[in-house]
Structure 1
Amino acid sequence: MTIARFTPLACVAAFALLPVVWPDPYVLSVMASCGIFIVAAISLNLLLGYTGQLSLGHVAFFGIGAYTSALLSLGFDVTFLGFDAPFVVAPKPVWVAFLAGIAMASLSGWLVGKLAFRVRGAYFVIVTISFAQVMRMVALNWVDLTEGPMALNNIPALTMWVPGHGVLDLTSKAARYWLVLAAGTIAWFTVAAIVRSRVGRAMVALRENETLARSIGIEASRYLRIATLVSAGIAGAAGGLYAHTVQIIDPDVFMFMFTITMVIMVIAGGKGTLAGPVVGGLIFGLMPEALRGVMAPEMQWMLYGTLMIVILIVLPRGIVPAFAALGTLRRRKAAVAAPIGIPLPAKGDEA
């Protein structure tokens, strides 16, 4: 139990050493990009894995976080509702903008949850997809605010105060990698704390049997809204990281393919497990880079689909649950082979 408790910290420490042992800028850039989508997958896992609600519009919260953080850090002026005087917002400190992006994504998640959780199943999926498409059309057509297809560029990098050096921009590959790792660690431990709490147990109860959960006094809509709010906030953090590391965004951040990528990472790794999105994210996040010089993009998508089908057939619960079940089976066999209190015969005693 003690070893399992410290395993996440050991993994974080191992990943933190990557820029030291392998300081290749390309590798660090790829790992940072992969890490951003792992954070997004962690957010989706809270909703899909622990409440059983499939959101195919989850990229909306990612995009809202990205655009809010970018716009506030750049500053903007916009005219709307027929007023002659423009509404002017001066550039804000990048961390204030980043936190505002998380808050705006969380608020959007709460509103979507309040409306959408009055329905279930396919209706909820349709609501989330529609919301994402509306956000994409707003980003594409509200040119005065978002620059539309011309994109928002020169987005300032996030900063950090270093004793003796003052405030430094996190622009190096290593700094951005560590920033994404820190955000991913916070997101993981946040979800872990929720899942292991009374709120998390209520979410799992709703996933397993909503009727029975309601019968024992669990308020379904309340806990589902909490899950959506936290999930959207973490997705907004991933979007903010994306905006401040890439430093240019356009309406493509609302692409449906980003949501599909998150879903694949969660399901392949093992939905409803804390390690699942990380394992699935590493596999499907690094695979495109590994295959970039080997096969055409069309062949890559065919390979992804084939691999996904194989995983669903061979490991229907995902990679992490399959390995966990294998470990449990081995421990049971060991316990049967060597019962407690009955020592196994020594090698020389068999005769």
Structure 2
Amino acid sequence: MDNVYRICYRYKIDMDINFEYYKIFYFAAKYGSITKAAAVLGSNQPNVTRVIRQLESQLGKRLFIREPRGIRLTGDGERLYIHAAAACGHLFKAQEELGDASPEGSGTIDIGATETALHLLLLSAMHDFRISYPDIRIRVHNHSTPDILKSFASGELDFAVVTSPFETAKAYRCENMHDFRDILVGGTQYRHLCSRRSPLKELLAYPWVGLGRGTATYDLYRDFFAAHGAELELDMEAATSDLLLPLIRHNFGIGFVPERLAQPLISKKILIQIPLDCETPLRSIKLLSENGHGKSRAADTFYRYLKCRERCGPPDA
């Protein structure tokens, strides 16, 4: 019980208010709908509405704005949701772990990972881990880096495995797991560019594909271009990194992708590598954890496995 009080203190949850109110608020905010929250909770719409009104009354704050298609959080509601989601995440995880009475070889892990991190690191690691620990369930949340960091900060994830560059709170432990470089590639109509090393400036005449403005990757390559006397202007902006290869292979433009992801398509002559007269920036896949360990016994087992794999390499490597 002391753990519950510490969590609630940490996330500024008022213990004088019934925790069930915060739980109902959390699900209503998560789904943006009173009806969906009621269904998940096994309750009914009038009861959920009543509890939210009581919570608003006790806090003296309006938490939701009612709209024709659902509800949305007010500024105060958004601030409360950050803390309520984190507290609920910890409590749900603890309840699950206690309910399972999990030994080291069982339980559930929630991992947030970018597309690049999945393909360059996690898929092979999770495959080998499952062989050693078949009774540990893994839930993978595959989103963009900002969405993963938001979910991690709210306590919904055990770990975040994301691709640099990014910014996050100093309170989290950030460990380097894998270094890589991007290469410049294009579809088959750009085959004439593979015969020699080209300066970036010369390639500005061609259409470019990349992650859009507002992403850390865009900022990275904007600075990279500037350092070589060029200005990055994208003709096609992708919202997520998993869209880059399909856009490039269909000749929408040239762009940077991790070398290991591009090589299978280069080998099949679906893509061509465009040599540059300069080296692309070194990038990394980082593991974010709260204190250098997992939040549950299962998560801690996976954390130690990843760290051992980093030091010693995969099995039979």
Q: TM-score, normalised by structure 2?
A: 0.23
Query: Which structure is higher in helix share?
Result: 1
Q: TM-score, normalised by structure 1?
A: 0.21
Whose RCO is larger (CA < 8 A, sep 6+)?
A: 1
